[in-house]
Structure 1
Amino acid sequence: MRQASGDASLLRRLNSAAILRILRGREVATLTELASAAGVSRPTAEGVVEDLLADGWVEEYAEDEHADRQRGRPARRFRFRASSAHVAGVYIDSANLQAMVCDLGGEVRAVRRQPLPADTPAPERLAALAELVRLVAADAEVAVADLAVVGVGTTGVVDGEGRVVKSIMLPGWTGLHLHAELSARIPVPVVVENDMRLAVMAEHWRGAACGCDDVVYLLTGDRIGMGLLIGGRAHRGAHAAAGEIGSQPNDNWSAFRYVADYAMAVEPGELRGSRQSAEFAISRARSGDEKARLAVRRFGRALAAGLITVVNPLDPEMVVIGGSLSAAGDLLVDPIQELLDEYCLYPPKVVASGLGGECITLGAVRLALDHAERLLFTMPD
């Protein structure tokens, strides 16, 4: 909420913040309903709403004119104006930058993606990110300085201050104080978080895990990663490293060997990475190759074997398979579900993410929206 003028009373500002929060959580409300919910008189609610209308935070809800004639003059109704402010979400991957601008209702206004070589030095990557935010804001017809918050997701262990404690994916990223560096380049509040936590936040907000408060998100693609949602909150852990897979004893995460062996047997002269091997096997499995289907099945069951060590102690409602290999759908989901059904006391439902390549960027938007709500609708102590 915009700061009131110096002569406005604290009570008036408190009432404004309270009524904005109420409208934020409802589709529409009358003055009487707002007054009751905020615990103020109707004249007080009316005065606050008039100010909010003038400031652009609230708009009057226009009902159907024919319905109005049928029942006489209705009570005025108001709703929160989602376009009153905007946030941006940014994802920093090893080969790309992606940025998205949304209004406070979460409606996407603009998206931009920029490829970057994996060996791009940190200063150049940071400069490219700041420029991408400027461009995507311009696409949404918003000045960067008018954004409420910019949320940023990155690979690596990210501490509570927005510092990248460790990263093996990006050069010059380990030890980088990402929050401070971006705050010096972007003239609005910046919040930084690990990409896997943002992915599970996005699934909880807009994806397969809507309505589920205990979720495991498994990233599959060029790497294996994990995000954990516990009690409706993304879990960070004591050292902000929750979900980091690292190396595993007994090769629990070397599931790719099944698809790699298959790809090498079919085309021994073609060198493929882990993701490319999996995509090759999945494509051939879809076309009816039984050996490819068996390789993908073994790949899925090997992933599930690693998941069991997380699923049994955490007891989640759902496991979401994300990343580029989630496009395999039931070819990958079914063998994972089968093994969890066999070995878990309470097997969670296994689903493939439908958010595609925008998942982590959407999570960065959700992070920005959460921070914006605290900034805009909460009175300072």
Structure 2
Amino acid sequence: MRRASGDGSFLRRLNEVAMLRALREAGQPSTVAELGRTAQISRATAEGILEALVRDGWAVEVDARGPEGQRGRPARRFGFRAAAGHVAGVSIGGSGLVGMVADLNGTIVARVSESLPREAAAEERLAAVVGLVQRAAEEAGLTTGELAAVGVGTTGVIDGEGRVVKSVALAGWTGVPLEAELAARLPVPVLVENDMRLAVLAEHWRGAARGRQDVLYLHTGSRIGLGLLFGGVPYRGSHAAAGELGGHPNSRWRAFHHVMDYAMSADPGELRAPAQAALFALERARAGDAEALAAVAAFANGLAEGLVTLVTPLDPELVVIGGSLARAGDLLVEPIRQYLGGVSLYPPQVLVSELGPDAVCLGAVRHTLNHAEKVLLAP
């Protein structure tokens, strides 16, 4: 945006912001008159501001020629130029990193990923995040400094200052002042948030929870996690620890015992982690193994028993199953539906995540877009 000074310039700045908001809300090229009405400014003022926004790269005038033979000059039409700014999102998980760059309309223009063991030192992980952001920006044809902001989602309890209060999934991650460390390494604003809150935000934005307001997101994989959405907003809790289930012995919920026992009996020569045992049982269940089907059903019922303690008091309209085990589809979802339907007064709908392993990174993008919009559209 152009700098403004003095009362007249400040008023013009307010009008520019109103026009930018009108362009964003329109969602498609609109006439000067339509945009002026939305922004509540005169047509003449609107036209002048739109021409300035085009010069500054925030708007674009589209070809408004009508059908051949149409009389009169066609109305000028303008649209928001989403490429005027970009944000990056990063997810930090046990198996590695995912990074994305999006324009101001949320269109993903670059995606990169990197494997990183959970035993990696904190300094190595920080350096990997910085390198990932640089690679994502380069793939989008940008420098890191041209990004409006970078959002980062990570496992663990994250306080209001972006510090990892506790992490049981990543070595040496507890106590890392993540936001401050990344802000010192990157030339743009950095926002850090818990991964499960970002996952449910992503599902609400462009996943299974579109149009829903009260949602419970259950992450199933090497760990069990929860994301809560109330009134369309991720719930943090009084200590920003909402959804954190803490560390369970050997990373096992009681529900995993069924698939662990099955995997041990079916293939005693292989020692598997809980999530690996669940995937092994799911593969056998799809092939028609009766014992595997029973183990998977018992596993799903165990998850449902844990869910009902949240579904009953919170009354969500939807439960989204995400994480690596969500690929089981109805083998996992249907027993949960049946269990909740039998014990809940108002059983929620149960759906599988539509976003897969990109949920957290997409949530980081959406979270950062929300921040960028506040900054870019502030008077």
With the length of structure 1 as denominator, give the TM-score of the two structures. Answer: 0.95
The equivalent residue for 2:365 is 365
Residue 55 of structure 2 aligns with an amino acid whose one-letter code is: A
- Give the unaligned 5+ runs of structure 2: none
What is the Cα deviation at residue 311 of structure 1? 0.7
State the distance in 1 between where 2:356 and 2:221 align.
Answer: 12
Change in Cα spacing, 1:216 to 1:252, as seen in structure 2 (3 Å) is farther
| Aligned partner of residue 70 in structure 2, secondary structure | helix
State the distance in 2 between where 1:172 and 1:314 align.
Answer: 34
The equivalent residue for 1:333 is 333
What is the Cα deviation at residue 3 of structure 1? 4.0
State the distance in 1 between where 2:281 and 2:147 align.
Answer: 44
What is the Cα deviation at residue 33 of structure 1? 1.5
The equivalent residue for 1:244 is 244
Residues 252 and 302 in structure 1, CA contact (< 8 A), matched pair in contact too: no
What is the Cα deviation at residue 94 of structure 1? 2.1
The equivalent residue for 2:347 is 347
The equivalent residue for 2:67 is 67
| Aligned partner of residue 321 in structure 1, secondary structure | strand
State the distance in 2 between where 1:156 and 1:195 align.
Answer: 8
Structure 2 residue 200 is the aligned partner of structure 1 residue 173: no
Change in Cα spacing, 1:60 to 1:202, as seen in structure 2 (3 Å) is same
What is the Cα deviation at residue 70 of structure 1? 3.4
Residue 330 of structure 1 aligns with an amino acid whose one-letter code is: D
| Aligned partner of residue 173 in structure 1, secondary structure | coil
What is the Cα deviation at residue 83 of structure 1? 1.1
State the distance in 2 between where 1:49 and 1:202 align.
Answer: 32
| Deviation string, structure 1 residues 149-193 (Cα, Å, up to 9, x no partner) | 101000100111111111112222212111110000110111110
What is the Cα deviation at residue 50 of structure 1? 0.9
| Aligned partner of residue 75 in structure 1, secondary structure | coil
State the distance in 2 between where 1:252 and 1:151 align.
Answer: 30
| Aligned partner of residue 90 in structure 2, secondary structure | strand
What is the Cα deviation at residue 5 of structure 1? 4.6
| Deviation string, structure 1 residues 226-283 (Cα, Å, up to 9, x no partner) | 000000000000000001113689x994111111111111111210011111101100
Residue 376 of structure 2 aligns with an amino acid whose one-letter code is: L
The equivalent residue for 1:4 is 3
The equivalent residue for 2:56 is 55
Residues 151 and 190 in structure 2, CA contact (< 8 A), matched pair in contact too: yes
| Aligned partner of residue 9 in structure 1, secondary structure | helix
Residues 222 and 275 in structure 1, CA contact (< 8 A), matched pair in contact too: yes
- Give the unaligned 5+ runs of structure 1: none
Residue 35 of structure 2 aligns with an amino acid whose one-letter code is: L
State the distance in 1 between where 2:248 and 2:145 align.
Answer: 45
What is the Cα deviation at residue 315 of structure 1? 0.8
Residue 4 of structure 1 aligns with an amino acid whose one-letter code is: R
| Aligned partner of residue 209 in structure 2, secondary structure | coil
| Aligned partner of residue 67 in structure 2, secondary structure | helix
1:68-107 paired onto structure 2 within 5 Å: 69-70=69-70, 72-107=72-107
The equivalent residue for 1:30 is 31
Residues 4 and 13 in structure 2, CA contact (< 8 A), matched pair in contact too: no
Residue 320 of structure 2 aligns with an amino acid whose one-letter code is: V
State the distance in 1 between where 2:2 and 2:256 align.
Answer: 55
State the distance in 2 between where 1:372 and 1:3 align.
Answer: 17
State the distance in 2 between where 1:225 and 1:282 align.
Answer: 20
Residues 285 and 292 in structure 1, CA contact (< 8 A), matched pair in contact too: yes
Following TM superposition, where does structure 1 have runs of at least 4 consecutive aligned residues deviating by more than 6 angstroms?
none
Residue 9 of structure 2 aligns with an amino acid whose one-letter code is: S
Residues 168 and 246 in structure 2, CA contact (< 8 A), matched pair in contact too: no
Identity among equivalent pairs (%): 56
State the distance in 1 between where 2:166 and 2:187 align.
Answer: 26
| Deviation string, structure 1 residues 64-120 (Cα, Å, up to 9, x no partner) | x45264364321111111111111000111220110011111111111111112221
State the distance in 2 between where 1:252 and 1:55 align.
Answer: 55
| Deviation string, structure 1 residues 31-87 (Cα, Å, up to 9, x no partner) | 112222222111111111111000111011224x45264364321111111111111
1:276-355 paired onto structure 2 within 5 Å: 276-355=276-355
State the distance in 2 between where 1:232 and 1:39 align.
Answer: 28
What is the Cα deviation at residue 4 of structure 1? 2.2
State the distance in 2 between where 1:199 and 1:258 align.
Answer: 27
| Aligned partner of residue 59 in structure 1, secondary structure | strand
| Aligned partner of residue 183 in structure 1, secondary structure | helix
Residues 228 and 235 in structure 1, CA contact (< 8 A), matched pair in contact too: yes
State the distance in 1 between where 2:44 and 2:237 align.
Answer: 48
Structure 2 residue 19 is the aligned partner of structure 1 residue 19: yes
Residue 82 of structure 2 aligns with an amino acid whose one-letter code is: A
Structure 2 residue 146 is the aligned partner of structure 1 residue 139: no
Residues 252 and 274 in structure 2, CA contact (< 8 A), matched pair in contact too: no
Residue 303 of structure 1 aligns with an amino acid whose one-letter code is: L
Residues 110 and 139 in structure 1, CA contact (< 8 A), matched pair in contact too: yes
State the distance in 1 between where 2:74 and 2:46 align.
Answer: 18
State the distance in 2 between where 1:252 and 1:303 align.
Answer: 12
State the distance in 2 between where 1:94 and 1:247 align.
Answer: 14
The equivalent residue for 2:256 is 256
| Deviation string, structure 1 residues 331-352 (Cα, Å, up to 9, x no partner) | 0000000000001111110001
What is the Cα deviation at residue 206 of structure 1? 0.8
Residue 120 of structure 2 aligns with an amino acid whose one-letter code is: T
| Aligned partner of residue 293 in structure 2, secondary structure | helix
